[in-house]
Amino acid sequence: MVGTFRPRRVASAALLGALALGLAACGGEYPNSTFNHYTEYNTAIDALWDKLLFWGTLVFIGVEAGLVYTIFRYRRRPGGATPKQVHGNTALEITWTAIPAVILVFIAIPTVSTIFKTQAKAAPDALQVEVIGHQWWWEFKYPQLGITTANELYLPNGRTVNFQLKTVDVLHSFWIPQMGGKRDLVSNRTNYLWFTPNADLPSSAWNGFCAEFCGASHANMRFRVYTVTPAEFEQWAAHQKQPAVFKAPVVAPAAANAGTTPVQLASLQQGAVGDSSAAPAAPVVPVWAFPKERLDAEFAYTVPTAKLPTAISFDESLLAQGDAERGRQTFSRSSCIGCHAIGGTPFTSPIGPNLTHVGTRYTIAAGLYPNDAKHLAYWIKSAPHMKPGSIMPTVGKGLTDPVRKNVINVGGLTDPEIADIVAYLQALK
């Protein structure tokens, strides 16, 4: 069968393809894009990508041009002679072997160079952060500072951060798309990753994810990253080093308030939560966390969007009556102390997230829900209903645990007791 070349049909197909490419390029913000230069890590990776894309495009154009030329030049024509059979062409075979070899050299050199650059050891003065993956939440330890927190990671701009990546169960993968990285957490092994947030970055918020399928709630294993100025990081670290307190906020001295926003001025009296009346006097340390007004105004893409389950209910009117002191007492005699640590108290279990300053965090359940009274109450009442596979058991009295299938009676918490615990945890600033 002899084909007919139809320019209009080809032009229509080309126009349709160009329109599709144009529409694909339309869009707004890309909060999880990796094509940024916010760290030397993703600058190097992006440069490598550009080189590979350039050489790959050249190869594609050359191969396709040769293919199209061959199709049209040697296509079947009416009355055409039978093509001559060719059994080999040494010069041609050497050429098409040499050209890919040369191209591979141009690809291999920058690739190997980037691998060595990103796999090198971090600078000796780097901030050390131990990242521990759990099913399904993130634990962050700052061994140089004596700080342990969960699911929210603070990094100072302009300082190299060296991450020690570990897992306590299955494989996970630590990934902050806009900062670069993505490295696996492997059982019985410590992997390393380092980068330096640009010194001129403004205080910013970023999404973090687990990028290795790790079970039922893999997609719910998120975390939040805040890159802040060195001064802001020092403020945050100084507060995080303090034991948990839940007394009423007091006004910090004017000298300590210089240059801070109203959100940052909230200060709490020092003292052990377990016995606030006997606590010795100590300097007031201002509470500092990433400004919520900036988070709400500029980083809408970090707001959790998960919906509350319909399988459980909670009397939300009780939240206004919650009492932090009653909540502390209820917490101290409940099963909560078997899994959670709170600095300055006898509660030291490392099984679940550290709750020392949980009131300053913006999310719970590894970034799945906002850290407000309503979501916290539902989470305490039945975490497995809120997050599939959660090892935190149901504690709401009378409920059936969806994983263990047992009805919670002895040791279960009523809605008023949960409201008190919510008040206590929210006061741990």
Long-range interactions of 349-352: CB distance < 8 A, separation 24+: 352/392
Residue ending a domain, choose from 120, 153, 186: 120
Please indicate, yes or no, whether residues 332 and 230 belong to a single structural domain of this protein: no
Model confidence over 85-116: pLDDT tens digits?
777 788 888 988 998 898 888 889 999 999 99
CATH code, domain with 190: 2.60.40.420
Q: Write the DSSP symbol of residue 348.
A: B
CATH code, domain with 312: 1.10.760.10
Q: Is 336 among the domain residues? A: yes
Q: What's the pLDDT score for residue 279?
A: 43
Specify whether the CB–CB gap between 123 and 160 falls below 8 A: yes
**Dihedral in degrees, nearest 10, Cα atoms 309, 310, 311, 314:** 90
Q: Is 7 among the domain residues? A: no
If you compute the radius of gyration of the chain from its CA atoms, what whole number of angstroms results?
Answer: 29
Q: Is 314 among the domain residues? A: yes
Q: What's the pLDDT score for residue 25?
A: 65
Specify whether the CB–CB gap between 381 and 395 falls below 8 A: yes
More confident residue, 425 or 83: 425
Three-state DSSP class for residue 244: coil
Q: What's the pLDDT score for residue 257?
A: 40
Please indicate, yes or no, whether residues 198 and 321 belong to a single structural domain of this protein: no
SS (H, E, C) 355-407: CCCHHHCCEECCCCEECCHHHHHHHHHEHHHHCCCCCCCECECCCECCCCCCE
Specify whether the CB–CB gap between 373 and 426 falls below 8 A: yes
Please indicate, yes or no, whether residues 255 and 234 belong to a single structural domain of this protein: no
Report d(CA 375, CA 363) in Å as an integer.
10
Please indicate, yes or no, whether residues 222 and 246 belong to a single structural domain of this protein: no
**H or E element at residue 208:** strand 204-210
Three-state DSSP class for residue 206: strand
Q: Comparing C-alpha atoms, which of 185, 153, 182, 151 is closest to residue 168?
A: 185
Q: Which residue has the tokens 């969806």?
A: 402
Residue ending a domain, choose from 87, 104, 120: 120
Residue 2 has pLDDT above 60, yes or no: no
Specify whether the CB–CB gap between 343 and 356 falls below 8 A: yes
Q: Residue 382 phi/psi, 5° resolution?
A: -160, 85
Residue 283 has pLDDT above 80, yes or no: no
For residue 276, give its domain range: 242-429
Q: What's the pLDDT score for residue 5?
A: 54
Residue ending a domain, choose from 238, 253, 276: 238
Please indicate, yes or no, whether residues 228 and 320 belong to a single structural domain of this protein: no
The pLDDT confidence band at residue 272, using thresholds 50, 70 and 90, is very low
Report d(CA 191, CA 183) in Å as an integer.
8
Please indicate, yes or no, whether residues 312 and 294 belong to a single structural domain of this protein: yes
More confident residue, 190 or 408: 190
This prediction's pTM:
0.81
Three-state DSSP class for residue 239: helix
Structural domains in the chain (count): 3
Please indicate, yes or no, whether residues 116 and 127 belong to a single structural domain of this protein: no
Specify whether the CB–CB gap between 197 and 206 falls below 8 A: no
Q: Pick left, alpha or beta for residue 325 (phi over 0 → left; psi -120 to 50 → alpha; otherwise beta).
A: alpha
Spell out the residues 6+ positions from residue 423 whose beta carbon is closer than 8 angstroms to its own: 319, 322, 323, 324, 326, 327, 373
pLDDT cut 70: percent of the chain above it: 88
Please indicate, yes or no, whether residues 206 and 270 belong to a single structural domain of this protein: no
Q: CB burial class (10 A; 0-12, 13-18, 19+) of residue 210?
A: buried
Report d(CA 50, CA 421) in Å as an integer.
53
Model confidence over 145-183: pLDDT tens digits?
999 999 999 999 999 999 999 999 999 999 999 998 789
Q: Is 265 among the domain residues? A: yes
Report d(CA 228, CA 209) in Å as an integer.
20
Report d(CA 179, CA 195) in Å as an integer.
8
DSSP secondary structure of 279-340: PPP---EE---S-HHHHHHH-GGGS--PPPPSS----GGGGGG--HHHHHHHHHTSGGGGT-
Q: What's the pLDDT score for residue 212?
A: 93
Q: Is 76 among the domain residues? A: no
Specify whether the CB–CB gap between 279 and 271 falls below 8 A: yes
Q: What's the pLDDT score for residue 85?
A: 79
Half-sphere exposure of 189 (CA within 13 A, CB side): 10
Please indicate, yes or no, whether residues 160 and 293 belong to a single structural domain of this protein: no
Q: Is 11 among the domain residues? A: no
Q: What's the pLDDT score for residue 246?
A: 66
Q: Is 57 among the domain residues? A: yes
Model confidence over 351-387: pLDDT tens digits?
999 999 999 999 999 989 999 999 999 999 999 999 9
Mean pLDDT across 322-338: 91
Residue 128 has pLDDT above 60, yes or no: yes
Q: Is 16 among the domain residues? A: no
Please indicate, yes or no, whether residues 220 and 296 belong to a single structural domain of this protein: no
Q: What's the pLDDT score for residue 419?
A: 94
Please indicate, yes or no, whether residues 179 and 309 belong to a single structural domain of this protein: no
Please indicate, yes or no, whether residues 272 and 331 belong to a single structural domain of this protein: yes
